[in-house]
């Protein structure tokens, strides 16, 4: 039996209390003139201001995200938010944690043009910026994305601040979902009269999938040199290899070492 000394016990308690004091306990809508902010309040009394939800994703970890979701859900489970900002926040969190195929955002996704696809590594969230709407998703969770949306996501490339295992696994996860949906369509067209038309579309999708899969295989075993982000001098002159990368790296973002540093408090 291992005996824990008093010093070790005190250290464990101190770590536990530090985490507890940093947890999110409330949020408010803060107004300064014409500007409106989310004010996120932590257990130690400190707070931070955010204009939009995506700004939170840059600073939050997964625990922060889950804390906020529980607070907002408890408040609006049976009532409708009055403030537009609260309505937007509840909509984003509900779509993320409680996706339902009949929700408007999923039913109308074919009408939205995908503008970009970004990964927030610190909290394990990837987001689609589309015309008129943002869709924020947990990296490990399946969502009712249609094949055309999945395909465009891969064409747009995943925007990342630095290369990570999470980014590679997310690409594989999206490809796997697209393959499964393509297979379902192939099984279905065997008994339809639109086989020729659908097959033509699916052939294009399969060709795209094979192309993206080959790229991903190359990036699954990056060299030591490739693991580093391109230098600022070379950022505007991508090589042939970078042009084929499934990622779009943000060279203006902080390094991985600084990405998880705590944000400044207001």
* Mean pLDDT on 198-225: 51
Asked whether residue 192 carries a pLDDT value surpassing 80, the answer given is: no
The pLDDT assigned to 243 comes to 54
For the stretch 124-147, pLDDT in tens is 999 999 988 999 999 999 999 999
Q: Which runs of consecutive H residues, i.e. helices, occur in 23-111?
A: 53-59, 62-76, 84-97, 104-107
Determine the average pLDDT of the residues in 44-48.
91
SS (H, E, C) 97-152: HCCCCCCHHHHCHHHCCEEEEEEECCCCEEEEEECCEEEEEECCCCCCCCHHHHHH
Per-residue pLDDT reduced to its tens digit, 70-79: 999 998 877 7
Mean of per-residue pLDDT scores for the chain: 75
- 15 vs 112: which has the higher pLDDT: 112
Question: Which of 69-73, 96-100, 111-115, 250-254 has the lowest average pLDDT?
Answer: 250-254
Q: Which of 137, 144, 133, 143 is nearest to 123 (CA)?
A: 137
Mapped onto helix, strand or coil, the DSSP state of residue 247 is: strand
Residue 191 pLDDT greater than 50, yes or no: no
Angle at 245 between CA 242 and CA 250, to 5 degrees: 75
Q: What is the pLDDT of residue 252?
A: 61
- Whole-number pLDDT of residue 79: 79
Contact 41, 25 (CB under 8 A): yes
Task: In whole angstroms, give the CA distance from residue 240 to residue 237.
Answer: 10
């Amino acid at each position: 039996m291992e005996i824990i000394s008093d010093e070790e016990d005190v250290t464990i308690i101190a770590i536990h209390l530090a985490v507890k004091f940093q947890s999110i306990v409330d949020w408010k809508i803060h107004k300064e003139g014409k500007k409106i902010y989310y004010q996120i309040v932590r257990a130690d009394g400190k707070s931070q201001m955010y204009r939009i939800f995506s700004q939170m994703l840059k600073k939050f970890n997964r625990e922060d995200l889950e804390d906020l979701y529980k607070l907002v859900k408890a408040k609006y489970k049976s009532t409708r938010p009055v403030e537009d900002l609260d309505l937007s926040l509840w909509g984003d969190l509900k779509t993320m944690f409680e996706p339902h195929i009949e929700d408007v955002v999923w039913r109308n996704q074919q009408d939205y043009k995908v503008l970009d696809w970004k990964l927030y590594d610190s909290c394990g969230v990837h987001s689609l910026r589309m015309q008129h709407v943002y869709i924020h998703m947990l990296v490990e969770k399946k969502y009712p994305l249609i094949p055309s949306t999945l395909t465009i996501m891969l064409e747009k490339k995943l925007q990342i601040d630095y290369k990570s295992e999470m980014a590679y696994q997310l690409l594989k996860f999206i490809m796997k979902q697209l393959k499964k949906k393509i297979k379902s369509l192939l099984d279905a067209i065997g008994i339809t009269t639109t086989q020729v038309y659908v097959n033509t579309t699916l052939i294009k999708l399969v060709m795209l999938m094979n192309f993206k899969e080959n790229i991903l295989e190359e990036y699954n075993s990056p060299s030591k040199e490739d693991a580093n982000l391109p230098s600022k001098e070379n950022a505007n002159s991508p090589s042939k290899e970078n042009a084929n990368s499934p990622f779009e790296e943000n060279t203006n973002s902080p390094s991985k070492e600084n990405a998880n540093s705590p944000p400044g408090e207001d």
